[in-house]
Amino acid sequence: MPEPITTIAPRHPDGRFRNVVPRRRQGVLEMLALFWKVSTTKPKTAVPDVPLPVRALTAADIDSAPDASLWRLGHSTMLLKLDGRYWLTDPVFSERAAPVQWAGPKRFHAPPIGIDALPPLAGVILSHDHYDHLDYDSIVRLIPKTDVFIAPLGVGDRIVRWGVDAARVRQLDWWQTTHVEGLRLTAAPSRHFSGRSLRDGDRTLWVSWVIEASGLKLFFSGDTGYHDDFKTIGERCGPFDVTLLENGAYNTMWPEVHMHPEETLQAHLDLRGRWLMPVHNGTFDLALHPWYEPFERIRALAAAAGVHVTTPMMGERLSLAQPHDGGDWWRAAMPAAAAAPVVTPGDRASTPSTR
């Protein structure tokens, strides 16, 4: 692979990070209109009305699994077994993706395995600081069993304030690379934003990750809108065996920071991926679309394009060397009226279901 290019994440003079193509700022009236729409027009199908199927996972299951395995634990939390060591992406084990546990987006399902049952981790890989990707309680509980935390610039400083030893934190800018226990990690550009309060917006960086180990190349998008650098990443770092790409929480009201399924598919093609695994869905209610729609749309779009998609159940093992289809497990929890969902371009949130 050629040496990474030296472009760094753009910043404003006050130190705040920004995207290559600056994100359009919403005015106060626009923000109020968005809040009103989300509060008053959210369809009932945004949340499943029956428990989601989950495959319970035990420490013995993990220990006996072959190398190059992945388990999706929910949303963007993946457990990876690479070269005999374990890695966790964007760990969120709490009940809610929110600053408090009595309000905010609540899980649709319990994690397939608890933190206490996880094996010792070689590392935790973080993409940015939003609550559905960086959970205080999970990080604190993972400190005793994690060797190193790999984070974007500024996110590492945040978890140090939470009690992580600074010597166990590595912070990267876009296109910087680090090696940990045989794993090669490159922080790649993404198109998003950061902040956990009204006062700290864009003070920390957001990244995607190129992960190389066990003769495999993986891409983990974190959160991102579609951007031209997917092509650059594909040209310089691809092709990828599996792309773990955001596919959920999209809407025409925030097109710059989350991808619609059509864009997820295009990003996979830009990255020169072999198998596409859609993530950032099925765990939290973060948008107006039906909770199952991201799965249905990406499967239909990929089939039309001849792209291999894998959708393992939460807790189901996926071989990264030889992925399997994963099936349509979510349909067991879909409303009967949606048995033949319509796949359409754009966003159907403007005509919410009344079911």
CATH label of the domain that carries residue 240: 3.60.15.10
pLDDT tens, per residue, the chain with 355 residues: 444 455 689 998 898 999 998 877 766 677 677 777 776 778 899 999 998 999 999 999 999 999 999 999 999 999 999 999 999 999 999 999 999 999 889 999 999 999 999 999 999 999 999 999 999 999 999 999 999 999 999 999 999 999 999 999 999 999 999 999 899 999 999 999 999 998 899 999 999 999 999 899 999 999 999 999 999 999 999 999 999 999 999 998 889 999 999 999 999 999 999 999 999 999 999 999 999 999 999 999 999 999 999 999 999 999 999 999 999 999 999 987 565 554 444 444 332 232 2
Give the per-residue pLDDT at 347. 45
> Domain for residue 288, yes or no?
yes
Q: Give every strand in the sheet of 183-188, ordered side by side.
A: 177-180, 183-188, 208-213, 216-220, 240-246, 273-279, 308-309
Q: Which residues of 21-45 are buried (b: 16+ CB within 10 A; e: fewer)?
A: eeeeeeeeeeeeeeeebbeeebbeb
> Domain for residue 11, yes or no?
no
> Domain for residue 12, yes or no?
no
Give the per-residue pLDDT at 32. 73
Tokens representing residue 236 in the block: 């310089």
> Domain for residue 351, yes or no?
no
Beta strands of 113-207 (E only): which ranges? Answer: 121-125, 146-152, 169-172, 177-180, 183-188
Q: Is the dihedral of CA 32, 96, 171, 320 positive or negative?
A: negative
Give the per-residue pLDDT at 7. 63
Give the per-residue pLDDT at 355. 24
Tokens representing residue 129 in the block: 């600081």
Give the per-residue pLDDT at 36. 72
Give the per-residue pLDDT at 291. 97
CA distances from 253 to 38, 190, 196, 202, 354 (A): 11, 19, 20, 20, 21
Q: Are residues 260 and 288 in contact, defined by beta-carbon separation less than 8 angstroms?
A: no
> Domain for residue 155, yes or no?
yes
Closest CA to 297 of 333, 332, 334, 347: 347
> Domain for residue 349, yes or no?
no
Q: Is the dihedral of CA 67, 83, 129, 267 positive or negative?
A: negative
| Domain region containing 264 | 46-341
Q: What is the pTM of this model?
A: 0.92
Q: How far is CA 7 from the centre of its chain?
A: 24
> Domain for residue 239, yes or no?
yes
Question: Three-state DSSP class for 272?
Answer: coil
Q: How many distinct structural domains can be found in the chain?
A: 1
> Domain for residue 103, yes or no?
yes
Give the per-residue pLDDT at 198. 84
